[in-house]
Amino acid sequence: MLTLENVSVNYGAIEALCDISMRVDQGEVVTLIGANGAGKTTTLKTITGLLEPRRGRVMFEGEEIGGKPTHKLVARGISMSPEGRGVFANLTVRENLQMGAYLNKNKREIADDMERAFHMFPRLKERQAQKAGTLSGGEQQMLAMGRALMSRPRLLLLDEPSLGLAPLVVHTIFEAIDEIRSKGTTILLVEQNAHAALGHSDRAYVLETGRIVMEGPSKQLADDPRIKEAYLGE
């Protein structure tokens, strides 16, 4: 579904990604783990067109998408819940969700999708008239995920959904990821919480200072002694 072939990305003179190759197949949950500054967010931004690759190709469903404007990629079925959640604090919860469905002109579908988001995260329904800026961190994360789903993506990119959340909320978020997956949406998950990420994904890539250093089935990586030492703290 999505493949990156030898992609390199620069911030000014600094190379943030170096010769990355990876793929995400239809129906999979793939996770990208790594330390701060390893290039995880850069990878997602490149896929969504927020950054332009300097070299290499980004292919989505057989077509080159590297450097295409973001709004066109959203229309093609890629959606992203950004790091730090990026909800519109000055808009209400309901308006945030409506923004997620910006490209959808069918009011009926939007209403259905909103119901689905409320079903997945009942807390959002209670707070739908509230400004998003007044929500707690966990609620904002739910809103960001719910909003990302409103565009009916085929590929959902999640950037650090568990960052800074209480363990109980983290649990809710990963349950939601399982639920989204069960409905057939492909997910690329970026996480620092390697333990949870490996437990809820099929395959994984390990990113270190802009390069992919390991890849394989999540179960296998979770048992790898190097991963255990570096990312699972065992």
Partner 1 sequence: MSTFLQQLINGISLGAIYSLIALGYTMVYGVLKLINFAHGDVYMVGAFMGYYLANGLGVRAAQAIGMSANGLVARGLLGSGDLQPSLVTALIVMLLAMAICAALGVIIERLAYRPVRKYSRLTALITAIGVSLLLENGGQVVFGADPKFFPELFKKRNIDLVGGASINSADVVVLIIALALMIGLQLVVYRSKTGRAMRAVSFNLQSAKLMGINTDRIIAFTFALGSALAAAAGVLVAIRIPRIDPLMGILVGLKAFVAAVLGGIGNIPGAMLGGLLIGITETMVVGYLSPTYKDAVAFAILILILLFRPSGLLGTVAQEKV
Partner 2 sequence: MSRYLRTLIIVLIVLGVLYGVDIVFHGRLISPYFARIAMLSGIAITLAVSLNLINGFTGQFSIGHAGFMAVGAYSSAYFSVNYGVRLAESLGGGSLGWMVSLFLATIVGAVCAGFAGLVVGVPSLRLKGDYLAIVTLGFGQIIVVFLNNIEAVGGARGYSGIPIVKSFFWIFLIAILTIVVVYNIVHSAFGRALISIREDELAAEAMGVNTTRYKVMAFVISSAMAGAGGVLLAHFDGYLNPKSFEFIKSFEILIMIILGGLGSIVGSVLGAIVLTILPEALRGFAEYRMVIYSLLLIILMITRPQGLLGGNNALKIWRARRRARSAAAKAQIVDAPAESSSDRNPTENPPGKEHA
Paired residues of 19 in beta bridges: none
Cα separation, 166 vs 179, whole angstroms: 20
Q: Which residue in the block uniquely carries the two structure tokens 């490149």?
A: 46
User: Angle at the Cα of 67 (from 63 to 71), degrees rounded to 5?
Assistant: 85
Span interacting with partner 1, options 30-38, 54-62, 80-88, 115-123, rule CB under 8 A: 80-88
CB of 69 to partner 1, least distance (A): 7
- Based on CB atoms, which residue is closest to partner 2, 18 or 110? 18
* Piece of 46-54, 104-112, 125-133, 193-201 that binds partner 2 (CB under 8 A): 46-54
Closer residue to partner 1 in complex, CB, 186/218:
186
Stretch that binds partner 2, among 47-55, 87-95, 114-122, 172-180 (CB under 8 A): 47-55
**Cβ nearer to partner 1, comparing 70 with 209:** 70
Instruction: Please report whether residue 102 would count as binding partner 1 according to CB under 8 A.
Output: yes
**Which tokens in the block code for residue 87?**
């909800």
Bridge partners of residue 7, in order along the sequence: 20
Kindly tell me which of 96 and 218 has the beta carbon lying closer to partner 1: 96
Binding-site partner at residue 88 among partner 1, partner 2, none, CB < 5 to 8 Å by type: partner 1
CA gap 190, 186 in Å, rounded: 13
Stretch that binds partner 2, among 19-27, 33-41, 51-59, 163-171 (CB under 8 A): 51-59
Q: How far apart are CA 66 and CA 55, in angstroms?
A: 9
CB-wise, 79 or 193, nearer to partner 1? 79
Task: Report the amino acid identity of residue 55.
Answer: R
∠ Cα 78 82 84 (to 5°)? 170
- 68's contact among partner 2, partner 1, none, with CB below 5 to 8 A by partner kind, is none
User: Residue 119 touches which of partner 2, partner 1, none (CB < 5 to 8 A by kind)?
Assistant: none
Structure tokens at 30: 């793939």
Q: How far apart are alpha carbons 218 and 104 in whole angstroms? A: 35
Among 3, 5, 19, 54, binds partner 2 (CB under 8 A): 54
Residue 112, both tokens:
């259905």
Q: Measure the CA–CA gap between 200 and 197, rounded to whole angstroms.
A: 5
Q: Does 64 bind partner 2 (CB under 8 A)?
A: no
Cβ-count burial 54-82 (b if 16+ within 10 Å, e if not): eebebebeeeebbebeeeebbeebbbbbb
| Binding-site ranges for partner 2 (CB under 8 A) | 9-13, 49-52, 54, 70
Could you list the residues that contact partner 1 (CB under 8 A)? 48-50, 69-71, 74-75, 79-80, 82, 86-91, 95, 98-100, 102-103, 147-148, 151
